[in-house]
Amino acid sequence: EVQLLESGGGLVQPGESLRLSCAASGFTFSSAVMGWVRQAPGKGLEWVSDISSTGDATFYVDSVRGRFTVSRDNSKNTLNLQMNNLRAEDTALYYCAKRMRSTGGSYDSWGQGTLVTVSS
């Protein structure tokens, strides 16, 4: 059974940093394209970032490019999202998700999410 468990969320002030992690199990992590999707309170889904299976290709939504960095440790089956210079508009539930195919596809597994709140 695929399991994705996010951690690292919390309350921070604008301009501060936070590092999210996602522990993966139940599948061959090193072969999977992984991503982060967020959902602001009461709002819809917004894709944030993807990373290739090897970690050598990363992709970001424009609003976080230059502030967020996605990475992975295939030896530890862990996905990370380093978030710097956080803004109020980054407040959301952040989901870790696995893409269906090694070449992409839809997200076929999701974690429960970790809440990030940016407020002074």
Partner 1 sequence: EIVMTQSPATLSVSPGERATVSCRASQSVSTNLAWYQQKPGQPPRVLIYDVSTRATGFPARFSGSGSGTEFTLTISSLQSEDFAVYYCQQYTAWPLTFGGGTKVEIK
Binding site for partner 1 (CB under 8 A): 35, 37, 44-47, 50, 59-62, 95, 99-100, 104-108, 110-113
As measured in angstroms, the least distance from the Cβ of 48 to partner 1 is 9
d(Cα 47, Cα 109) in Å, to the nearest integer? 14
**Which C-beta is closer to partner 1: that of 28 or that of 112?**
112
CB contact at 8 A, 18 and 12: yes
**Which C-beta is closer to partner 1: that of 61 or that of 117?**
61
As measured in angstroms, the least distance from the Cβ of 8 to partner 1 is 17
d(Cα 10, Cα 118) in Å, to the nearest integer? 8
d(Cα 48, Cα 79) in Å, to the nearest integer? 14
As measured in angstroms, the least distance from the Cβ of 75 to partner 1 is 26
Phi/psi of residue 88, each to 5°? -55, -35
As measured in angstroms, the least distance from the Cβ of 116 to partner 1 is 15
* Pairing, β 104-110 against β 78-83: unpaired
**Which C-beta is closer to partner 1: that of 13 or that of 65?**
65
**Which C-beta is closer to partner 1: that of 93 or that of 120?**
93
Cα-Cα end-to-end distance for the chain: 40
